[in-house]
Amino acid sequence: MKSIKSMSLGELAALVCSHLDSKGIPCVLSGGACVSIYTHNRYLSYDLDFIERISTSRKELRIALAELGFYEEHRYFKHHETEYFIEFPTGPLSVGSEPIKQIEEMSFETGILFLLSPTDCVKDRLAAYYFWNDQQALEQAKLVSKNQPVDLDEIRRWSEVEDQSDKFEEIKLDLRGFSS
């Protein structure tokens, strides 16, 4: 197997995801790391945000990740061989007020990675834009939609549920790159 220092973000995320899953700690990658993967690193994140699908104690996470050489520093898990770090934002696995229904799988030499779908990745980034006016998150949503097929009708429906139809209408043309 590759050394951690030579792994791409996706390879490292798959290693961590598969290892945690084998320890009974199923997780799903979200956030900027999904954007990096879906845009082939046109946006680069060093933060691997994993959402636990089953609540786990911090001690269990610490023990499982130590087996891969990670150590806890403040709220992050770091490794001496990589700049990438791991974080476990509070669940549940959702985008805005809605739970995630579809989880994608990607296979890497290092394992299986469970992550948000491209459509849910766009919704995740748009949530930051809608609620905190995060312009960088909007740019990330645009990048994903230009590099992956996304369901624009689903994003429109979700935006309505989140009471953000006006903002969606302002940006919808920017999300049409690869969109359906």
**Which 3-state string (H, E, C) describes the chain?**
CCCHHHCCHHHHHHHHHHHHHHCCCCEEEECHHHHHHHCCCCCCCCEEEEEECCCCCHHHHHHHHHCCCCEEECCEEECCCCCCEEECCCCCCEECCEECCCEEEEEECCEEEEEECHHHHHHHHHHHHHHHCCHHHHHHHHHHHHHCCCCHHHHHHHHHHCCCHHHHHHHHHHHCCCCC
Tell me what pLDDT residue 92 has.
Answer: 87
Tell me what pLDDT residue 154 has.
Answer: 96
Q: Any idea where the domains of the chain sit in the sequence?
A: 4-117, 119-174
pLDDT tens digit at each of 180 positions of the chain: 789 999 999 999 999 999 999 999 999 999 999 999 999 999 999 999 999 999 899 999 999 999 999 999 999 999 999 999 999 998 889 998 899 989 999 999 999 999 999 999 999 999 999 999 999 999 999 999 999 999 999 999 999 999 999 999 999 888 976 655
- Statement: the pTM of the whole predicted model exceeds 0.85: yes
Domain 4-117 CATH class label: alpha beta
Tell me what pLDDT residue 179 has.
Answer: 52
